[in-house]
Amino acid sequence: MTFDRFAIKRLAGLAALALTGLAGPVAVTLSHAQDYPSKPIRIVVPLPPGGSNDVLARLLGQKMSEAFGQPVIVDNKPGAAGNISTDFMAKSEGDGYTIAIAPNQTVAVNPVLYPKLPFDVLKDLQGISMLGRVPMVLVVSPGKVNASSVTELIAFAKANPDKLSYASAGSGSPQHMAAEVFKSMTSTRMAHIPYKGSVPALVDVLGGTVDVMFCPLNSALPHIRSGKLRALATTGTKRLELLPSVPTVAETVPNYESDIWIGMIASAKTPPAIINKLNAELRRSLALPDVREKLAEQGIYVESSSAAEFTRLIAADQKRWAAVIKSANIVPE
């Protein structure tokens, strides 16, 4: 079969139009990424001002603003154990101008603790980068609990089932999950006393109303140093520079680990080029000596990652906590 030169020109024209149509969205996406950011960026925080998540957002927001030449606004949206913030983020435009701080409770625990959330973290959101970890410390009220080590605490708990009580910031909170993992791995029983936040929980441990708490390092440290709390162990995989004489739980209970981690997320619709640009800036900021020093003062240990690595961590931890929640029969308050 043969074609005249006019037919060939018509076919060439149609092919060019088809290629232009396919290239259009790609070209637009690349253009947006090159221009990004051209307006203010909003960082949504799932908790009130003043805590570790807020400190991270404001410090990194300042560095991002300096690097990008655009304002970075921190927007605190607390409530519903962080679900309000995550829902807002899941429904945001995927343009990179709304991103969010994501502690493990909001993106790894809540999705398996609350069965009917109006969003799906693994479908609606994606990771930008890991930001850091906040170790927790297993502390006891010195005047009430006669235990100076994890071994002694386990022995007392086994000899007196449910006599010891432990405080948390509520069902599904990092303090609660750390204690449930501990109970499961040590075959012990302690009564859970949930509070609406870490502050009232810690107040009652200090006052001797509650016996035990897995407390974030930044909150516990002043009271450990003053002698108002006795530190038995830390929850990470290695000892902390700030508490070098305090062992890890894993030194007594092999493979135990239950730190709080915090990362940054974006809408799943956000173009990869913008995610990569944000990831590069976050990792640059986290490597700065002044940033690391300020975060260390807050008990936050810097840890960055690729976007893909953080997204995989979210999915893996959802599976991990789903097993804990099912085993301990944890239900939301």
**Is residue 47 within 8 Å of residue 253, measured between CB atoms?**
no
* Strands, E assignment, the chain: 41-45, 72-76, 98-103, 125-134, 136-140, 165-168, 191-194, 212-216, 230-234, 260-267, 301-302
**What six digits make up the tokens of 97?**
């101008």
Cα 122 vs. chain centroid, distance in angstroms? 14
Q: Helix (H, G, I), strand (E, B), or coil: what is residue 307?
A: helix
CATH 3.40.190.10 fits 136-251, yes or no: yes
Q: What is the reported pLDDT for 299?
A: 85
Whether the ω angle into residue 37 lies within 30 degrees of 0, i.e. cis, is yes
**98-103, strands of its sheet edge to edge:** 72-76, 41-45, 98-103, 260-267, 125-134, 301-302
Q: What is the reported pLDDT for 63?
A: 98
Q: What is the reported pLDDT for 215?
A: 95
Going from N- to C-terminal start, the domains of the chain cover: 40-133+259-328, 136-251
Q: What angle do CA 309, 68, 289 make, to 5 degrees?
A: 65
CATH 3.40.190.150 fits 40-133+259-328, yes or no: yes
Please compute, for residue 228, the number of CA atoms within 13 A of its CA located in the half-sphere on the CB side: 13
181-184: long-range contacts at Cβ-Cβ below 8 A with a sequence spacing of 24 or more?
181/256, 181/258, 181/324, 182/138, 182/214, 182/249, 182/253, 182/256, 182/258, 183/328, 184/324, 184/327, 184/328
Q: Helix (H, G, I), strand (E, B), or coil: what is residue 235?
A: coil
What is the reported pTM?
A: 0.85
* Most distant CA atoms of the chain, gap in Å: 98
Q: State the Cα–Cα distance between residues 43 and 140, nearest whole angstrom.
A: 36
The yes-or-no answer to whether 40-133+259-328 and 136-251 have a common fold is yes
Beta bridge partners of 261: 133
The DSSP-derived string for 244-304 is TTSPBGGGTSTT----EEEEEEEETTS-HHHHHHHHHHHHHHHTSHHHHHHHHHTT-EE--
Q: In tens digits, what is the pLDDT along the chain, a chain of 333 residues?
A: 444 555 545 555 545 555 555 554 444 455 567 789 999 999 999 999 988 899 999 999 999 999 999 999 999 999 998 999 999 999 999 999 999 999 999 999 999 999 899 999 999 999 999 999 999 999 999 988 999 999 999 999 999 999 999 999 998 899 999 999 999 999 999 999 999 888 899 999 999 999 999 999 989 999 999 999 999 999 999 999 889 999 999 999 999 999 899 999 999 999 999 999 999 999 999 999 999 999 998 889 999 999 999 999 999 999 999 999 998 888 887
Q: State the Cα–Cα distance between residues 266 and 97, nearest whole angstrom.
A: 9
Q: What is the reported pLDDT for 21?
A: 55
**What six digits make up the tokens of 226?**
């003053």
